Amino acid sequence: MKKIGDSFKGILGGFVFILIGIGLLWWNEGNNVKNIKTTAEMEKNYIQVSSETVDSKNEGKLIATNGNLLYEEELKDEIFNVSIVSPYLKRIVEVYQWQENEDTTDDTTTYNYEKVWSSELIDSSEFHQSGHDNAKSKPYEDNVLISNEVKLGAFRLPNDMITSLEANKNISTFDTETITSLGYSVYSNYVTNSSDLANPQIGDIRISFVYPDYKEASVLATQTNDTFTDYISSAGKRVSRIKDGIHTGEELIKIIETENKILKWVLRLLGVILCVSGVAAIFKPISTISNFVPILGGLVNSAVGLVSLVIGLIISLVVIAIAWIAFRPVVGISLLAVAAVLVFFLIKKKKTKVQTSTNEEEKNM
């Protein structure tokens, strides 16, 4: 009876899942259209310029430029006496912790626990099983030191662009005297308090220092004096991009387009999954009750799963179609047509089953 009660309680959760899925799908389609318009606008408006000089004629315009990265300041982490000449130096402090994973199979939820390194503290007080206690604090926090001046040719890079450069190198040489005085030791690229970092214990700490080491970079952004700010498209999207290496404006825009496409499909899939899961939760009581009759359980569960998938897909397609009608009518109407075909197929299939059942009953009479 508890399972039946829980399944009925899940109906509300099912409606919540559907609403979240609908909201996500609607936002994603609108955001996708804005991204498409923005990249098309950038392709039309950007100017490829040299980074060797700053031309005041390009003030306020979208420019693409590339060239040598210039930086001379030595950045130093005073606590661990670590220093490097780089655009930025990042300290990452990780704790070896328990992580709870949930697994639901056949109406039964189990929890398993694995040990992971994480720079974020995992709150073990929320775990469903005791005996997996994590540390409540870190001895040191993550930190980022940024150079006061990093230039791309004659242009100064703003801090957000500097830290957008991917850290591709690790500090591997340490002042062992300083490290030892802090009660730590060096293991490969890490500073740690673990007695054996290859076999760590819960609560152990490992600290790494990473930094970008590039000689060249490329930027796509609005020229503002001798630096860069976000480009704001007519669709309201803010865009600025820095990438290591030499790239043209066209190449940078293609990279942005690819990232937007990946995001679009990931969020679409997530929205569909939420809608299908929501419908499945609403129909869950039917599956739960049918499980008390062994012969019917498997058949009903399969049918509920199929119906949940179809209805979830229909809801998703309708939402996407209406969103596209609002933003791009031709594609939206096409999607609505596909959804209509699915609905027609579902109704027709149901009528066929009913008719077949009626005919068999008449034959048996």
Q: What is the DSSP string of 294-335?
A: HHHHHHHHHHHHHHHHHHHHHHHHHHHHHHHHHH-HHHHHHH
Q: What is the mean pLDDT of residues 209-228?
A: 97
81: region left, alpha or beta (phi > 0 left; psi from -120 to 50 alpha) = left
86 phi and psi, to 5 degrees? -165, 165
Q: For residue 322, is pLDDT > 60? A: yes
For residue range 89-100, what is the model confidence (pLDDT) as tens digits?
999 999 999 999
CA angle 217, 258, 333 (to 5 degrees): 150
For residue range 9-19, what is the model confidence (pLDDT) as tens digits?
667 888 899 99
For residue range 111-165, what is the model confidence (pLDDT) as tens digits?
999 999 999 999 999 898 999 999 999 999 999 999 999 999 999 999 999 999 9
Beta-carbon count within 10 A of 327 CB: 17
Confidence of residue 359 (pLDDT cuts 50, 70, 90): low
Confidence of residue 355 (pLDDT cuts 50, 70, 90): low
- The residue written with tokens 């498209």 in the block is 233
The per-residue pLDDT for 356 is 57
Q: What is the mean pLDDT of residues 167-189?
A: 95
Confidence of residue 1 (pLDDT cuts 50, 70, 90): very low
When mean pLDDT is compared across 64-68, 245-249, 258-262, 295-299, the lowest value belongs to 295-299
Residue 208's alpha-carbon distances to 116, 211, 223, 336, in angstroms, are: 16, 10, 35, 52
When mean pLDDT is compared across 76-85, 259-268, 279-288, 296-305, the lowest value belongs to 296-305
CA angle 182, 168, 53 (to 5 degrees): 120
The per-residue pLDDT for 187 is 93
**d(C-alpha 312, C-alpha 306), whole Å:** 10
The per-residue pLDDT for 296 is 56
Q: What is the pTM of this model?
A: 0.79
The per-residue pLDDT for 179 is 96
When mean pLDDT is compared across 25-34, 162-171, 311-320, the lowest value belongs to 311-320
Mean pLDDT of the chain: 87
The per-residue pLDDT for 217 is 97
For residue range 38-80, what is the model confidence (pLDDT) as tens digits?
999 999 999 999 999 999 999 999 999 999 999 999 999 999 9
Q: Above pLDDT 70, what percent of the chain?
A: 84
